[in-house]
Amino acid sequence: MFGAIGRIVVRRPWLVIIGWVVAAVAIIMTAPSLGSVTNKEGPPPIVFCIGGGPS
């Protein structure tokens, strides 16, 4: 299997590069925007237990 992939890459490198570019563009076009998946309130506060506090 890897031998066949290697032969294709060596024989037609530009086709492989074009394939990667098309895949990257397709992922960018179909992925959700960053604003729609981030938490708008921010991360929860970090509470450190110091001294005799509960752990």
Look at residue 44 and tell me whether its pLDDT is greater than 70. Answer: no
Look at residue 7 and tell me whether its pLDDT is greater than 60. Answer: yes
pLDDT at 29: 94
Per-residue pLDDT of 9-39, as tens digits, reads 999 999 999 999 999 999 999 998 877 777 6
Nearest residue to 5 via CA among 30, 15, 46: 15
d(CA 8, CA 5): 5
Alpha-helical (H) ranges within the chain are 2-11, 13-30, 34-37
pLDDT at 55: 56
pLDDT at 34: 78
Look at residue 2 and tell me whether its pLDDT is greater than 70. Answer: yes
d(CA 4, CA 10): 10
